[in-house]
Amino acid sequence: MSRHCGFLSRNSIKEGIVEGLRAAMLVDPANARAVAHLGRRLADQALKQGSDPDEARRARGEADFLTSRALKLAAYNNEVKQLREEVIKLLGPKAH
């Protein structure tokens, strides 16, 4: 991974903005932290009051998939494990 990619990932994770996290994931799809953080932000979006039901359903599915994938990429990473657990708690039993 180039220094630019690492910088993009660190800043995107710090900012927590979905678009930035998506960009970081596209640049480095094996970055488990960026993938897990994107999943966590999408879980927040899925639960947002007044959101479109179809968009919320898509965000729930994507949050579940991404955090599960991140855990497969870095099962040893405590931050990734914690984010996966948070998504499961937020989205309930359908999330896994």
Task: Read off the pTM.
Answer: 0.82
The residues spanned by each domain of the chain are: 3-95
* Reduced DSSP (H G I as helix, E B as strand, rest coil) percent helix, strand, coil of the chain, to 5: 80, 0, 20
Pick the CATH number of 3-95 from 1.25.40.10, 3.80.30.20, 2.60.40.350, 3.40.830.10: 1.25.40.10
Do residues 43 and 90 touch, judged by C-beta distance below 8 A?
yes
**pLDDT, one tens digit for every residue, the chain (96 residues):** 444 445 445 555 656 678 888 888 888 899 999 999 999 999 999 998 888 899 999 999 999 999 999 999 999 999 999 999 999 999 986 655
> Cα separations (Å) of 10 from 17, 23, 31, 60?
12, 12, 10, 24
**What is d(CA 27, CA 89) in angstroms, rounded to the nearest whole number?**
29
